Structure 1
Amino acid sequence: MTTSAASLTDATTRANRALAGLEHDRQTLDRIDRYIRGEHAGPYMPRTANQEYKLLAKRCVSNFLPMVVAAPAQALSVEGYHRSGSSTDAPEWHAGWQANGLDARQAAVYRAAITYGHAYVVTLPKQAAPNRPAVRGVSARCMWAAYEDPSSDEWPLYALELPRLPGSKGMVKGWFYDDKGVYEATADEESVTLDAGRAHGLGVCPVRRFAAQVDLEGRTTGVVDPLLPLQDRINQTVFDLLVAQTYGSFKVRTVSGMTPPLKRDPVTGEPLLDADGNPIAKPVTADASRLLMAPDADTKFSTLDETPLGGFIESVGMSLRHLAVVSQVPPHYLLGDMVNLSAEALAAAETTLMRMVQEFKRAFGESWESVLRLCARIAGDEVGAVDLASQVQWRDAESRSLSQTVDALGKARQMLDVPARALWPRIPGFTDTDRASWPDLSAEEDSSARLAESLTRAAGPVGASGG
C-alpha cells in the first residue's frame, strides 16, 4: 500500500488517541482480570494483625466469579451458518470458520466478552493466500476501537491492538487497523509510531466487536464488574468464619483457686526464682489426653463454650444466593445443593440463565454473521458478502431430555404435518455435518427395504411349492 505522508500522519494521530483510550479502560479491565484470577482485595483486619491472621486472609478468598462467567459461556456454541433460503452450510463457513479452528476458539471470545463486557475478532486476508481469511479473537485488555456511533455501528473507524501497555519494560509492538490498511505499531510510554502499512482492500476496519451488553450510549457491561462488591462480602464473611473457627470453635477449659505448681531445684527442692525474686510457675498442660487434678480443696474447673459457626455459614449461603440473583446463575450452580432434580425441574431452575444466554446469542450471532460475510468478501464471493439474511446456527443447550424433544418433534410431524427434514435441525446433539449425511443414509435404508420387499415377493409365501 502506498501511503501518503498526510495519510500516515492522520493514522498516527488516531493511533495515539486509541492508546489513550486503551490506557483509560485498562484501569477497570485489569481490576476485573485480577478478580477472575483470584487476586482479590483483602478482608478487613486489625492493624495489629499477626502472621496467623494474614494467613487466614489469604485462605478466605472463595472465587465464584469464574463460575459466573462459565455458566453462560458453556451454553454458547455455534455449529453452522446458513445463507438465506439454504439449509446447508455456506462456503464461508468452511473457508472462514472451519479453516481457522473456530469450533474450539469461539469459547475464548465468549468468555472474554462476558467477563469484560466486550471482545474483538479481527478478520484479514492471509498474506500468503490473499483469498483465504485469517480470523482470530482479541481481548478487550489488548485492543481499543473508536466508533462514530458506538451503540449501533457494525464496524469501527479504527482500532489499536497492543499485547500489553508500554511502560518501563520498553517499547511494545502491535497493530493499528483502519478501513484502508493494517499498520505495524510501535508504542512507548509517550506515543505510537506506525510503519507504511499494507492494504487489506476490505473497505471497512476489519475489527468486529462482540458486546455482551451495550446501552444506547455505547457503554458495554460484563457480568463480573457488578458482582465485585458481593464477592468482597463473601470473602469477608469467610474470613470471619475462619477466625471464629480457628480461635473460638472449641471449648476452653478454665481453672480457679489453684496454686500453680512451681519449678524447683532438683538438688535442694527449693523453688526457683526469676530475676525479680518471684517463684517460677510450671506451665499447666491441658489437652484432651490429660486428666486435670489440683491439690487445693477450693479449686474449681469449668469450661467456656465454643463460638457457634452456624450464623457464619448461613451468611455465606445468603451472599451466594444474592450473587446468583444478580448474575442470573442458578443457585444450585454455586451452592451445590442439587439433589435428584428431574429434567423439568432443572429446566425451570435454569430459566433466568437461558434468558441471558438467548440475549448473548442474539448479540454474538450478529457479530459472527458480520465476520463470516467479511470472510466471503475476502474469498471473492460478493453474493455471500452482502447476504444480510444469513444466520448462524446455535447449539441447543437447554436442559431437556432427548426423549422429550423427539416426542415433541414427532407430534409436530404427525399432528401439524411439518416435513420431517425440517425437524432434523431441532434434534440436539448433532451438527450440520452429521445431518448432511442423513439423506444418503435414508436413501440407502429405503433401497435396502425395497430390495428386501421384492425378494420376499419373488420367493412367495413360506411353504409354497411350484409346479
Structure 2
Amino acid sequence: MADTIITPLVGAEKGLDTLRADTVRLDRVDRYLRGDHDGPYTPRSATEEYKLLAKRAVSNWLPLLVKTPAQALAVEGFRRSGATDAEPPAEWLAWQAERMDARQAQIHRAALAFGQSWVTVLPHPADPRRPVIRGVSPRRMIAFYDDPAADAHPLWALRVDSVPQSTDTAVLGWFYDATGVTSLSIGGKEGTRVRGFTPHNLGVCPVVRFAPDIDLEGRVTGVIEGVIPLQDRINQSVFDLLVSQTFGAFKVRTISGMAPEIVRDPETGEPVYDSATGRPKVLPIQADASRFLVAPDPDTKFQQLDETPLEGYIAAIELAVRQLAAVSQVPGQHLLNGTVANMSAEGLGAAEAAMFRAIDEWQHSFGESWELVLGLCAQVLGIESDPRGQVTWKDAESRSLSQTVDALGKMVQMLGVPVRGVWGRIPGVTATDEEHWAQMQAEDDPAMRLADSLAKVPVPAGAA
C-alpha cells in the first residue's frame, strides 16, 4: 500500500524514480507505434543492399490496433439521474467548452496503447468556477493509490515535463494531492525544491485514471506490448519476401560447354588483355528477344533456372496478420483488404462481434472514469455532483439503418418505450440533435400551439 500521507518533496522523488523504471517499457511501445521497430534478422556480412531491404521490410500494423477500436469509443452525452429537462447538464457544457468531443480520442488511444492514461480537472486560474480538463500521457504522469484496483482517486500523483535518466538533470514537476497542486524542480545540482503551491479545494486528488484492462492487483495492460513479437514476425516475413523478390524472382539462363569469344586487336589479331586482371577480355553474350543463341560446339547446352516461388512468403505474412487480428480482437477485414467482398451487414456484424465485445468492456471502464471527471467538473462549478449520472456512447456497431429503425419502432409499439427514449439509440444522433428534436416537438405540439394562440388574444377591458 502507498503511504497515506507524503510530502511533495518525497513524493516527487519517489514518483520520478517510478517513471524512470517504466520508461524503457513505455518508450518501446511508443517507438513501435511510430514505426521505429527492431529490424529483421540479417547476417553480420549483410551488404548495404540487404540493409536497405531490411529498412523497407518494416510494415507498421500496430496503429490500426489502437485506431480501429478507438474510433468506436466516443462519448456523446451525459445524463443526470432522474433528469427530464431538455437542457444539457452544466457538467456537459463544461465538457464541450473544453473541446473534449475531439480531445477524448487522444486519451482513449493513449490508454489503449500503453495500458493507462490520465485526466486532470482543476479550476481555471482566472475563473475558479470554470473547470480545466487536461489529458496526460502515462509517460509523463504516475499516481499512487491506497488500493490501486478499487480506489476512484489516487492519494497523490506526479506529472513531469520530461523523464531524464540521469539524476543530475533537473526537471519541472507538479505534485497533485487532496489539497492542491505543488510545482517543483526535481533533481539537479540544487536538489528537489518547491516552486509554488495552488489550492484547488476539491477534497480529493483531481486525477482520474483511464485503464482499459486492469487486474485485482492494479496492474494494467495495453493492446500493443503483447503483440510486438507478432509485429517482429511480420517484419521478418516481409524481409524474406523482399530478398527473394529482389534476388530470385526471375528466371536465370545458363550456358555450359561454350567458350566465350575473346576480344582481339583488329590490326594484329592478338587477344586484348584486361590491365586490372591480366586476363583476356571477352565479348558479352547478346541475348534478347530479337536474337538467337548459336553455339559452334555441338556439346554446348542451354538451360534455365526457374524463379523462386513467392506464394509461400505471402501466405506466411497473411497468417501472421491473421494471428495479430485474433490476439488483438481486431477483425481481419480491418487489416487485410479484400476479405469483406460482398459481405452483408449481418455478416459484417458477426465478423466484428469480438471487437465490439472488447469495446463494450472498455466503455464500461472508460465510462466510469469520465463520470468521475464530470463529477470533478461539477465540484469546480459549485454544484452537487451526481454519482448516478451516466455518459452515453456513440453507437458505432455495423448495422443497417433500416434494421435499427425497425427494431426501435417495435420497441416503441410493442414494449411501450417512449419515443424520445429511443432517439439516442439511432446511429449518428448526438445529444444536440435530441435537444433540437425535443424543441421542435414542443413547437409542433397542437396543444402548445393552441395555448400560445390563446395567450396572444387580447383580453377586453373590464373582463373578469
TM-score, normalising length: structure 1: 0.90
The one-letter amino acid paired with 1:27 is V
Is it true that 1:63 corresponds to 2:63 in the alignment?
Answer: no
Structure-2 residue corresponding to 1:4: none
SS of residue matched to 1:145: strand
The one-letter amino acid paired with 1:194 is V
Structure-1 residue corresponding to 2:335: 334
Structure-2 residue corresponding to 1:5: none
The one-letter amino acid paired with 1:69 is V
Structure-1 residue corresponding to 2:171: 172
Query: How far has the Cα of 1:15 moved from its partner?
Result: 0.7
Change (3 A) 1:286 1:49: farther
Structure-2 residue corresponding to 1:211: 211
Structure-2 residue corresponding to 1:15: 12
Structure-1 residue corresponding to 2:283: 282
Change (3 A) 1:180 1:446: closer
SS of residue matched to 2:223: coil
The one-letter amino acid paired with 1:336 is N
Of residues 335-344 and 56-65 in structure 1, the stretch that sits farther from structure 2 once superposed is 335-344
- 1:211-231, Cα deviation, whole Å (9 max, x unpaired): 010011111000001100100
Structure-2 residue corresponding to 1:458: none
- Kept in 2, the 8 Å contact 1:75–1:357? The answer is yes
Structure-2 separation of matches of 1:303 and 1:278: 28
Equivalent of residue 375 in structure 2, options 364, 373, 376: 373
Structure-2 separation of matches of 1:145 and 1:288: 72
Segments of 5+ residues of structure 1 without an aligned counterpart are 1-7, 452-467
SS of residue matched to 2:204: coil
Query: How far has the Cα of 1:167 moved from its partner?
Result: 5.3
Structure-1 separation of matches of 2:266 and 2:316: 56
SS of residue matched to 1:197: strand
SS of residue matched to 2:335: helix
Structure-2 separation of matches of 1:60 and 1:286: 33
- Kept in 2, the 8 Å contact 1:167–1:188? The answer is no
Aligned pair count reads 440
Structure-1 residue corresponding to 2:303: 302
Change (3 A) 1:199 1:290: farther
Query: How far has the Cα of 1:448 moved from its partner?
Result: 11
Structure-1 separation of matches of 2:445 and 2:18: 63
Structure-2 separation of matches of 1:9 and 1:85: 40
Structure-2 separation of matches of 1:288 and 1:365: 69
Structure-2 residue corresponding to 1:113: 111
- Kept in 1, the 8 Å contact 2:442–2:448? The answer is no
Structure-2 separation of matches of 1:36 and 1:162: 22
- Kept in 1, the 8 Å contact 2:20–2:165? The answer is no
- 1:241-287, Cα deviation, whole Å (9 max, x unpaired): 00000010110010001111112224312102356764333344545
- Kept in 1, the 8 Å contact 2:76–2:393? The answer is yes
- Kept in 1, the 8 Å contact 2:12–2:186? The answer is no
Of residues 439-448 and 47-56 in structure 1, the stretch that sits farther from structure 2 once superposed is 439-448
Counterpart mapping for 1:348-387 below 5 A: 348-381=350-383, 383-384=384-385, 387=386
Structure-1 separation of matches of 2:279 and 2:345: 76
- Kept in 2, the 8 Å contact 1:167–1:189? The answer is no
SS of residue matched to 1:308: coil
Is it true that 1:81 corresponds to 2:78 in the alignment?
Answer: yes
SS of residue matched to 1:437: helix
Of residues 132-141 and 259-268 in structure 1, the stretch that sits farther from structure 2 once superposed is 259-268
Of residues 168-177 and 393-402 in structure 1, the stretch that sits farther from structure 2 once superposed is 168-177
Structure-1 residue corresponding to 2:23: 26
Structure-1 separation of matches of 2:103 and 2:423: 26
Structure-1 separation of matches of 2:231 and 2:297: 54
Structure-2 residue corresponding to 1:249: 249
Structure-1 separation of matches of 2:400 and 2:380: 42
Structure-1 separation of matches of 2:261 and 2:448: 100
- Kept in 2, the 8 Å contact 1:120–1:140? The answer is yes
Counterpart mapping for 1:37-186 below 5 A: 37-87=34-84, 88=86, 89-95=88-94, 97-166=95-164, 170-186=169-185
SS of residue matched to 1:195: strand
Structure-2 separation of matches of 1:306 and 1:442: 72
Query: How far has the Cα of 1:439 moved from its partner?
Result: 2.7
SS of residue matched to 1:196: strand
The one-letter amino acid paired with 2:434 is R
Structure-2 separation of matches of 1:111 and 1:267: 79
Structure-2 separation of matches of 1:422 and 1:73: 26
Change (3 A) 1:450 1:277: closer
Structure-2 separation of matches of 1:146 and 1:294: 84
Structure-2 residue corresponding to 1:226: 226
Query: How far has the Cα of 1:10 moved from its partner?
Result: 2.1
Structure-2 separation of matches of 1:277 and 1:343: 74
Query: How far has the Cα of 1:206 moved from its partner?
Result: 1.0
